[in-house]
Amino acid sequence: MKFMLFILPTVPGTLEDRKRLRPIGRNTERYQQMLDEMRKLAVLADDAGFDVFATTEHHFHSEGYETSVAPLLLYADLAARTRRIKFAPLGLVLPAWDPIRAAEELAVLDQLTKGRLYAGFARGYQDRWVNVLGQQYHVTGAPMDGSAIDQHNRKVYEEAVKVIKKSWMEETWEYNGQYYKVPFPYEEGIRRWPAAEWTRNYGAPGEVDEQGVIRKICVVPRPYQDPHPTLFQPFSVSENTIRYTAREGIVPWILTSYPPAFKDLCRVYREVAAENGRQLGLGESVGAFRAVHFGRTEDEAVELFRTTNYAGFHDYFYGFGFAEAFRVPDDNTKYPLDPYTALPLEELTVERLRRVKYALAGTPEQVRAEIEAVQSVYDGGKLEWFGWFFDQGFMPWDEEVRQIELFAKHIIPYFR
């Protein structure tokens, strides 16, 4: 099993600090403290044997939580300080990017690091910034509810993935999509290119026609990895997403944790992958996200979970619909899916997150047994990827180091 350390780059500070120093996200001293922690964590993760170091992409977070503005720039810095660990944005929110620019920047980072990169893509769910940066596609933050907004966002996202793959895999290409066209204007072509003869002689074949009109493009550089970095998609909850990732050869990072539901999604992925020519074992090419907290006693570990990861879900993520990842069949009577009725906040308890096996908290031996159950896809397979949702910025630095060291000592060697 391979391991990911997943972090929401967080400017360190208590809630009192955040009120006193608001907006703490623009506080240079605290931001530098966050960068220092990220650099140290990347080195610790590299030495500990983690396979991937990952962060989100978000913008405008003046509160200092998830200040993951430019993940690819961050990874260039961290790659220069580490030896072997790879990096993954989870993910670049494609409806807020130009897809060719995303393809270029990922390819450059892949070349700079000689292949220490996974390419993670997401659809975007936070209106505050997706509405602004995604305005060229008329997208907004998408609630994961199958609504018209959700479907539009999904279409833009899937077209962007097509454009990125063409940029990486085809030497010269054109594209006439619903949201994106190459060249532009597509029918007319690009007629003002005075260097047409230069391109005809030295550029990629087919870029320029006999009249000197640009008809295709060639995106450079190509990725270091052939044909391109492995693709990731977080945070998968719906069966529709699982089916899409299976068809496209993308590794889904599944947030749904209730064992029967998680196993069902893994089965769907395997079945759809087989329909598309990939024969996989149950859990192969799949990632699971879990919160992990170690304590000298189980109670101590649970309390650490309560004051860190759980606080984030309760006070922040709940409003974006993430409680749905922790739904169980008994909920559907009280909170039906049709018409959709969200789990109320009072249902998002520490006990629920432990019961559905999202929160793995206890002594090292207890946590190892819980991860072993996840790895087996609950007696039905062998999971390829395990992601630790790590609480950087919410624990004292010494506790962050202790948690990493315990994972390195008691978990990674056991599963290797």
* pLDDT per residue rounded down to tens, the chain (416 residues): 999 999 999 999 999 999 999 999 999 999 999 999 999 999 999 999 999 999 999 999 999 999 999 999 999 999 999 999 999 999 999 999 999 999 999 999 999 999 999 999 999 999 999 999 999 999 999 776 678 888 999 999 999 999 999 999 999 999 999 999 999 999 999 999 999 999 999 999 999 999 999 999 999 999 999 999 999 999 878 899 999 999 999 999 999 999 999 999 999 999 999 999 999 999 999 999 999 999 999 999 999 999 999 999 999 999 999 999 999 999 999 999 888 899 999 999 999 999 999 999 999 999 999 999 999 999 989 999 999 999 999 899 999 999 999 999 999 999 98
- The 3-class secondary structure across 24-51, one letter per residue, is HHHCHHHHHHHHHHHHHHHHHHHHHCCC
CB-CB neighbours of 225 under 10 Å: 18
User: Which residues on neighbouring strands pair with residue 340, listed in sequence order?
Assistant: 337
Domains and CATH numbers, the chain: 2-171+219-415 (3.20.20.30), 172-217 (no CATH)
Distance from C-alpha of 99 to C-alpha of 230, rounded to nearest angstrom: 17
Alpha helices in 276-386 (DSSP H): 298-307, 309-315, 331-334, 350-355, 364-375
pTM of the model: 0.96
Does an H or E element contain 155, and which? helix 148-169
Enter the tokens of residue 251: 């590794």
Please say whether the beta carbons of 274 and 280 come within 8 A: yes
Distance from C-alpha of 97 to C-alpha of 134, rounded to nearest angstrom: 7
The CA–CA distances, whole Å, from 205 to 16, 107, 169, 216, 407 equal 61, 21, 15, 9, 52
Distance from C-alpha of 189 to C-alpha of 71, rounded to nearest angstrom: 34
CB-neighbour burial class of residue 13 (10 A; exposed 0-12, middle 13-18, buried 19+): buried
In b/e form, how buried is each residue of 38-65, taking b as 16+ CB within 10 angstroms? bbbbbbbbbebbbbbbbbbbbbebebbb
CA dihedral sign, ordered 113, 116, 122, 126: negative
Tokens 């109670």 belong to: 299
Enter the tokens of residue 361: 């908290």
User: Which residues on neighbouring strands pair with residue 253, listed in sequence order?
Assistant: 287
Distance from C-alpha of 37 to C-alpha of 365, rounded to nearest angstrom: 28
Residue type, 144: M
Distance from C-alpha of 81 to C-alpha of 208, rounded to nearest angstrom: 43
Enter the tokens of residue 332: 């559907």
Distance from C-alpha of 97 to C-alpha of 5, rounded to nearest angstrom: 25
Please say whether the beta carbons of 89 and 164 come within 8 A: no
CA dihedral sign, ordered 386, 387, 388, 389: negative
Q: How far is C-alpha 144 from the chain's CA centre?
A: 16
